[in-house]
Structure 1
Amino acid sequence: MDVCVIGGSRHFGRRLIGELRDSGAAVTVVNRGTTPAPPGVTHLLADRDDEAALRTALGGRRFDVVVDQVCYSPLQAAVAARVFAGRTRRYVLTSTVEVYAELGRPGGPAVPENSVVPSDVLFDLELPWADERFLADHYGEGKRQAEALLTREAPFDVVPVRTAHVLGGADFTGRLAHYVERIGQGLPVVVHPAPQPASFVHEPEIARFLAWAAAADFTGPVNAASHGPLDARELCAAIGGVIAAVPRLAEGPHELLSPFSFDRCYAMDTGRASRLGFGFSSVADWLPRVVEEARGR
């Protein structure tokens, strides 16, 4: 299998590249070169937002599948649809649970993929997607519209992998560390008065899933999450059990809420992944190890 990975310079992207390489795939990584590519892969330097530079870097290369780790807007998706037309038969877009953020409700069920159908989502290329603040403030919407544009306009098969909140590995977000540090130091953790469950996935598991999806033949969105969603209070209790500390919980205004403290449930239904043949682990299987890793940093 000949695979192109766009991005992949940090967190589970590097793990994904290793998974693909070690499986025997020929891997080409395309990014801006801020971090050296792992050994054994072809490294092409280009800014994915610069269509001409991306075409030049790719030259005449063609791929069985592209895995796009860094597509955050329909503007970027439109560039990809044009550049990879005729270069690939399959496109795996690393998407996010945040596409469901506005759909959840307190006490609601886990959300299946058909809660957001890409072909039904409108996209707007005129919005200021090039503005970093706008892009950050509209993360879930940007991913929704990227899914929609690729699904409706790209001349290749598209698989949006809607990834749960990723824990473990070289996590640059600091979200789990926030809990581990505050609970370990006896500081209060600010949570919503009635926090709702969220889905999580282990860093090596999402890398394995993306590599598996790259080699599969299904199309359309698929949820990727370990079994056992947790709300913020349950997450605190689990962390406290690992580090032998009693969490101090407090309620506060929205701007002080801890990460993963949500007022609506949008845990993900992973039934489709199971039916397609991928079995996820349970959060309880790996969370203690991840907490210890975060504690040791």
Structure 2
Amino acid sequence: MKILILGGSQFFGRKLVQLLLENNDEVTLLNRGNHADGFGEKIKRIICDRTDKTAFEEAIKQDYDLVFDLSCFDFEQAKHACEVFNGRVKKYLFTSSISAYVERNDHLSEEQFNPLDFELANKVGRKEHYGEAKRQAEISFIKFATFPVTSIRLPVIVDAEDYSLRLQRHVNSIKNGLPLYFDNLQGKISFISADDAAKTLFELAGKDFSGTINAASAKPITLQRFIEIIEKITNSKFILAKQKLDNNVSPYNNTGDWCLHCAKLQSLGIKLQEIEDYLPGMVESIHRTG
């Protein structure tokens, strides 16, 4: 199949590319070219800033079987993608976020945010409000796309080589005795590994499914358990910051639970690793190299 990935040069995008190449698909990446992807002549590349509407339109010179959109963050980007790809793609997979849910609890099911029922107020960008921007992107695809769209709501994605360094920050802070602030260590959180994020996108592309779907490791863990895993591997003791400051708040901090319910994903036969199976290996890798 002819496949276009918007983004895809790093993190789980690179893992997705590898799966597609192993499946003998023809892969093209469209991005700004700021990061080397490492695939050499195995793939095609289009260097383009999608926020430049004219350049984006001119860059798309052929039709595609699939488009994976890993770099859409707001209403206008989604709308413009629809204008570019309407009539030119058979299926479109968009990476949304757990942040699209207005409320946070331990059982976030797809029905708790239906883009069809959402009233669009003022348009926002990712820097203004990441969750609201992702909600609005989902709305935009429903409103303007004439092709089937699957919006995959992902939780916190973890990997030993995460460019955001969120997991690394936790490991290194605990290892070096630097306090971290959490509001509620008993709060549960959903994770997904970068490998499983790529696997989910790959497998959903082959399913007769469109609409919104959650994708996360089936069993969330408490932040306390997350810390215990790091403590054990680093042989260090976590220090809870007594006061909340700008520079000590955990990137995973939450006042309660923040967990995705993934019955729909499981009904499609997509099974993901449990957190307890992959997190220790990631922590060990960071500990060993850090």
Separation (CA, whole Å) in 2 of partners of 1:57 and 1:280: 35
Alpha-carbon deviation of 1:128?
5.4
Question: Which runs of 5 or more residues in structure 1 are unaligned?
Answer: 130-134
- Indicate whether 1:171 and 2:162 are aligned: yes
Distance 1:292 1:174, change over 3 A: same
Partner-residue secondary structure (3-state), 2:232: helix
State the Cα deviation string for residues 84-117 of structure 1 (Å, max 9, x = none).
Answer: 01110211001111112x311xxx4321111111
For 1:262, which of 254, 260, 263 is the aligned residue?
254
Distance, in Å, in 2 between the alignment partners of 1:194 and 1:143 is: 27
The correspondence of residues 54-69 of structure 1 with structure 2, limited to 5 A, is 54-59=56-61, 61-69=62-70
Question: What is the deviation of 1:193?
Answer: 4.2
Contact residue 106 and residue 188 of structure 2 kept, 8 A: no
Residues 191 and 252, structure 1, Cα contact 8 Å, conserved in 2: no
Task: Give the 5 Å matches for 1:1-297.
Answer: 1-37=1-37, 38-39=39-40, 40-59=42-61, 61-100=62-101, 102-104=102-104, 108-123=105-120, 127=123, 129=125, 135-193=126-184, 195-253=186-244, 255=246, 256-295=248-287, 296-297=289-290
Aligned equivalents of 1:277 and 1:251: distance in 2? 44
1:49-106 deviation digits (Å, cap 9, x = unpaired)? 12221121111x1111110000000010011010001110211001111112x311xx
- Supply the AA of the counterpart residue of 1:29: L
Answer with 275-284 or 195-204: which moved more. Answer: 195-204
Distance 1:212 1:193 in 2: 35
Aligned length: 286
Cα distance between partner residues in 1 of 2:171 and 2:92: 37
SS at match of 1:210: helix
User: What letter matches 1:55 in structure 2?
Assistant: E
CA drift at 1:33: 1.4
Q: Equivalents in 2 of 1:11, 1:29: separation in Å?
A: 14
Name the CA shift for 1:137/1:195 in 2 (closer, same or farther; >3 Å): farther
Query: Aligned residues: percent identity?
Result: 29
Following superposition, the deviation at residue 12 of structure 1 comes to: 1.0
TM-score w.r.t. the length of structure 1 is: 0.91
Structure 2 unaligned spans of 5+: none
Q: What secondary structure is seen at the aligned counterpart in 1 of 2:86?
A: coil
Quickly say closer, same or farther: Cα 1:3–1:151, change in 2 above 3 A.
same
Secondary structure of the 1:191 match is coil
* Structure 2: distance between partners of 1:200 and 1:194: 16
Summarize the Cα distance change of 1:239–1:194 in structure 2 as closer, same or farther, 3 Å threshold.
closer
Report the 3-state secondary structure (helix = DSSP H, G, I; strand = E; otherwise coil) of the residue aligned with 1:16: helix
Q: Within 2, Cα distance between the matches of 1:189 and 1:253? A: 9
Q: Show CA shifts across 1:109-135 (max 9, x none).
A: 3211111112222335x6353xxxxx2
Measure, in 2, the Cα distance between the counterparts of 1:290 and 1:160.
27
- Deviation of residue 186 (structure 1)? 2.3
Amino acid at match of 1:91: Y
Secondary structure of 1:141's counterpart equals helix
Contact 1:228–1:283 (CA under 8 A) maintained in structure 2: yes
Cα separation, 1, equivalents of 2:136 and 2:190: 22
- CA–CA distance in structure 2, aligned partners of residues 231 and 69 of structure 1: 28
Instruction: Give the aligned residue type for 1:208.
Output: K
**1:171 CA drift (Å):** 0.8
Q: 1:286 to 1:30 in 2, by over 3 A?
A: same
TM-score normalised by the chain length of structure 2: 0.93
